[in-house]
Structure 1
């Protein structure tokens, strides 16, 4: 048996893993662009907001003399006619173009008299002191609506002053008739000061989304926003205790990082104006998408930072290949506050990496561990230099066919020489190990980028050999302000092409973040290796023959007026593939031939 001390190459993957899996490090905040960090904060804020407003709804204020009622939260659902078209579109993808008809008798029996062209929803409003909120249904004949509810075991009675009490299974709602609308709420006081025509405040959401939610953060009374901030701080203080085997220095570092995160949340509560989440089935453009967006308070620091994102450009346009099997583009500027926070985090990051290396039993000596630490510090120096420069610019591309796989990633690096230095130190660790593949330094160059290559034998299996050949070729390219990693057939040639296309299109306008996957290309390759999987074959064939390349899943972050919107989109081909797969599974379960 080969001893551990003779196999330092086994430690290399673990060392690399330590760089990307160290506890207490939010790697996303380092590698993902600015607006995605803010997006995560907005989601957390929205959830906290819902908790605050729901608690207030239980004990509504009744103070007189306040100002104009403003919406704190809206939830909208498209009109029935629009929803029916979307349901039928989804059904058509699975061979059921009249799917909505299966549900219509029950739905219309429950909400008979519903205006099918109008949206419905929920509104929660405040004037700073008093609260109002209700479910808003476009029903002109409230009496007939209440009568129809009896068939479902729901009783109603007159509560006076135009209010109706509605009861079922021990639960109670209160309702009243408006001008073409029926309003339902948990308390009769909540039915006061509601909008006369909810369609007017619903329209911005309902015209774009089948289901939309919007929170107007700055319309939440100041006292409740401060309460939310205090609750966040109290939660941090309650959880900030030293962990087992954690040194005082590590605890203080972790505490400082948590404090910085709480300060960021507090800033978001003060500077985010609106948060919107919307889901739409777009039967006209044959796609489905989910949007998460936020806008900033005018004149705020956040607003100024978002304005800088309105015109993002990349110097790595060669990675922008939306028709590839997979693509990722990042192009944004980091703000000073983010850079300062990342620099603070890196202090803890380095110590955790060094501690993890000290525990590596695969490294044969203290000298080897010091070399590994030095290599890790070089890589972290390169990352920190990139963050300090405030530029996130680069991408990745996956090209895939049943006969070939190639992957290239790269982008701006603040100190590429540190990457090269780290690689050479890792190579030094394994120089005496015959199992360690030899690196060919300066094997090729192109436009100022020097490539170092490595070849490893491909596993003796049909699938990887078909994709990679006899060996898996890898290359790392080091430029003046860039680093590239390439893997697969013709890896250097593929990287060179991306470098050339980038040089030919400097400053190309792109979204701050865009990622896409071609499900058809991926499944076609997988299906080649699984010829006996009938469901997989059916889905792959449907994607190739029926969707004309509309088989992508995309995530795109784009600037909007004084804000950012991130959209998760599924094209028609993917939805059709899901329908084909579901139908095939149903037939298989029923024992029918496919």
Structure 2
């Protein structure tokens, strides 16, 4: 009986729904997200590299006795699942219908019926990728109680299968030799015969939960990758970094090198200290939506884990932006670890230096003007860091729209509101005498301890669309408190800003969310249509009027042990609005081509 090597029990499906959206509002979001994605893709790509190919004679030779025990095998580095044919057919029918292209759902169902005869269409398909003696060896798991019947139907593509003494089947797929073994109600496929022994005795126990929860799911277990392979990956990235830096020239070369060096150090930390990563995508026909889930966790006890351990939801002064009638809102309230502050310090410092060098190369600014702009940038960067050093992030933005009306307000915790006001006043002084410079009016009024300022600028006559929204003049109201800053776009948004100031006096207790973003398309489209009529927008509004929601896009990020999870939801209305725009474009194309696509 094959030795089972899956010593660590697979995590529960509840945990498999954890999502990766790395530090949604943290100061180094962009780098961290890209860094971990790069690490994931690089490792996944490695699993797809062909191993040592077998000759035909080797392929048909009996497997050496005890070969499975002799090989050093890891638990799966990667687990990939594809939902059952029934599930995929139902979900694809819904998606194609929501997008206004139902014919594609019918085509998918027809093709699925043709190529899955003999396969259990109620069970998912899976691929496990352990490392055998350091080499990735994919193991495919196909639900069928009679793989010989399935292979018989595919003989036109593969030729007849050969059967070895132990019942293992062998087929040639192009230049590759595939070994197949029946294990209960599952067929196990691998490119090396001995690897078949590494398959789980009950494949459904490993993949059925992920396969039923998602149409496509991928779990990457970084710690199953041997240290030498991770070291080699880091070395290759480091070599590419060094080569890129060697080609870097110009006055900003040193600043660019320091910035990239800091980024490279963070990337190395992510690769070496990541525990596992999961991403799942589900077209939910029952719930009428698309869900993207995933999770990221760091190795317990590492610096990366400590960053996440120190990141928790906190009471928020700006939770009033979370409203059911919002066209859109953004809200974040989380503690910030000292490690994050230190990493942000290096990233921001490098970015400021690069910006300063780039300004110095501009032909439109004098040397003194470059110095003035750099000074302002440095003050803004220092204020951002001072705010993070207080150990928290608390901010919210709210957009309200309807036909003919738009309101937008923003509020945020900041370490020194007086310094924020001083920076704006300094900018105003530097812009004095410049043509078309905005007009500033400071200390106009106070509201509950918040000092009000006004910035206004004339809209050029040629900016017709901007004038339709803001009129001849754009007016931006800024409020600065002791530890806060507020912005309201237009006079009509001042009351909304004051509501935020009122709400800040009684912070809302911490919930489960670190951050939440929501966009509802219907009120935005209605406002856009009231500003300027458009056939595509009219078609989207018509489609949305028959949907279950207002065209919702929602992103929610939560803390978990040593990591973070998040969920992205695309509502039925959003999909139908996209379908409405697609149909409108198709109709216009047919009209242009005399009824032909």
* TM-score normalised by L of structure 1: 0.84
Task: Tell me if structure 1 keeps the 8 A contact 2:127–2:139.
Answer: yes
| Equivalences for residues 168-179 of structure 1 within 5 A | 168-179=173-184
Whole-Å Cα distance in 1 between the matches of residues 99 and 245 of structure 2?
Answer: 51
Task: Tell me if structure 2 keeps the 8 A contact 1:133–1:191.
Answer: no
CA drift at 1:144: 0.7
Task: Tell me if structure 1 keeps the 8 A contact 2:327–2:520.
Answer: yes
Q: What secondary structure does 2:35 align onto?
A: helix
Q: Deviations over 1:500-559 (max 9, x none)?
A: 12323344436222222222222222333443x43331211221x223544111222222
Question: Which residue of 209, 216, 222 maps to 1:211?
Answer: 216
Q: Deviations over 1:350-409 (max 9, x none)?
A: 43344444455555x655554444333322221232233332221222223341233222
Matched with 2:237 is 232
Q: What secondary structure does 1:509 align onto?
A: coil
Matched with 1:415 is 416
Whole-Å Cα distance in 2 between the matches of residues 229 and 410 of structure 1?
Answer: 41
Q: What secondary structure does 1:70 align onto?
A: coil
Q: What secondary structure does 1:162 align onto?
A: coil
In structure 1, runs of 5+ residues without a counterpart are 1-27
Question: Which residue of 165, 168, 183 maps to 1:163?
Answer: 168
Whole-Å Cα distance in 1 between the matches of residues 375 and 27 of structure 2?
Answer: 28
CA drift at 1:216: 1.1
CA drift at 1:82: 1.7
Whole-Å Cα distance in 1 between the matches of residues 437 and 130 of structure 2?
Answer: 67
Q: What secondary structure does 1:239 align onto?
A: helix
Task: Tell me if structure 2 keeps the 8 A contact 1:403–1:466.
Answer: no
Matched with 2:498 is 496
CA drift at 1:497: 1.2
Q: What secondary structure does 2:557 align onto?
A: strand
Whole-Å Cα distance in 2 between the matches of residues 369 and 112 of structure 1?
Answer: 70
Whole-Å Cα distance in 2 between the matches of residues 512 and 37 of structure 1?
Answer: 19
Question: Aligned in 2, Cα 1:356/1:207: closer, same or farther, shift over 3 Å?
Answer: same
Residue 104 (str. 1) matches residue 109 (str. 2): yes
Whole-Å Cα distance in 1 between the matches of residues 324 and 31 of structure 2?
Answer: 24
Question: Which residue of 469, 476, 480 maps to 1:474?
Answer: 476
Residue 44 (str. 1) matches residue 38 (str. 2): yes
Whole-Å Cα distance in 2 between the matches of residues 282 and 490 of structure 1?
Answer: 40
Q: Which moved more, 1:548-557 or 1:349-358?
A: 349-358
Q: What secondary structure does 2:213 align onto?
A: coil
Question: Which residue of 259, 265, 288 maps to 1:263?
Answer: 265
Task: Tell me if structure 1 keeps the 8 A contact 2:79–2:126.
Answer: yes
Q: What secondary structure does 1:477 align onto?
A: strand
| Equivalences for residues 536-575 of structure 1 within 5 A | 536-543=537-544, 545-547=545-547, 549-575=549-575
| Equivalences for residues 375-524 of structure 1 within 5 A | 375-433=376-434, 435-460=436-461, 463-509=465-511, 511-524=513-526
Size of the aligned set, in residue pairs, is 560
Matched with 2:289 is 287
Residue 81 (str. 1) matches residue 96 (str. 2): no
Q: Which moved more, 1:194-203 or 1:459-468?
A: 459-468
Q: Deviations over 1:265-319 (max 9, x none)?
A: 3332333221111100112221102223212333444334323334344222233
CA drift at 1:38: 4.5
Residue 192 (str. 1) matches residue 197 (str. 2): yes
CA drift at 1:145: 0.6
Task: Tell me if structure 2 keeps the 8 A contact 1:88–1:96.
Answer: no
Q: What secondary structure does 1:521 align onto?
A: helix
Q: What secondary structure does 1:575 align onto?
A: helix
Q: Deviations over 1:400-434 (max 9, x none)?
A: 33412332223122233332222222211232347
CA drift at 1:209: 0.9
Q: What secondary structure does 1:547 align onto?
A: coil
Question: Which residue of 238, 241, 248 maps to 2:246?
Answer: 241
Whole-Å Cα distance in 1 between the matches of residues 248 and 23 of structure 2?
Answer: 23
Q: What secondary structure does 2:198 align onto?
A: coil
Task: Tell me if structure 2 keeps the 8 A contact 1:133–1:194.
Answer: no
CA drift at 1:118: 1.0
Matched with 2:275 is 273
Task: Tell me if structure 1 keeps the 8 A contact 2:313–2:335.
Answer: no
Matched with 1:202 is 207
Whole-Å Cα distance in 2 between the matches of residues 37 and 293 of structure 1?
Answer: 17
Question: Aligned in 2, Cα 1:256/1:373: closer, same or farther, shift over 3 Å?
Answer: closer
Q: What secondary structure does 1:505 align onto?
A: coil
Q: Which moved more, 1:534-543 or 1:311-320?
A: 311-320
Q: What secondary structure does 1:504 align onto?
A: coil
In structure 2, runs of 5+ residues without a counterpart are 1-21, 55-63
Q: What secondary structure does 1:512 align onto?
A: strand
Task: Tell me if structure 2 keeps the 8 A contact 1:166–1:174.
Answer: yes
Q: Deviations over 1:42-72 (max 9, x none)?
A: 3222112123333474479968456775221
> What RMSD over aligned residues (CA atoms) do the two structures have, in Å?
3.2
Whole-Å Cα distance in 1 between the matches of residues 359 and 580 of structure 2?
Answer: 49
Question: Aligned in 2, Cα 1:257/1:362: closer, same or farther, shift over 3 Å?
Answer: closer
